[in-house]
Amino acid sequence: MGFTHDFPRVDLRVPPAVRLDDALFFAICQANREYRIERSASGDIRIMPPTGGITGKRNSDLIIDLGL
């Protein structure tokens, strides 16, 4: 998909007993701005790798196409 082989995605499971609300998740993201952090539908945290040059080019091509 555009992920680099050097940086695999890391999934962190959050125990159901831990309440990770939106405010706490936002605070975690703000404290770690150098990472691309997402939350799955099940509430687990995903630290995504950099997308790399090919994905960046595809994204910029798509933006240009949409802009035109």
Give this prediction's pTM. Answer: 0.58
In the prediction, which pLDDT does 3 show? 44
Chain segment 11-64, per-residue pLDDT in tens:
888 888 888 889 999 999 999 888 889 998 888 899 987 766 777 788 889 999
* 27-52 b/e (C-beta count within 10 Å ≥ 16 → b): eeeeeeeeeebebeeeeebeeebebe
Please say whether the dihedral angle defined by the alpha carbons of residues 42, 45, 49 and 50, taken in this order, is positive or negative: positive
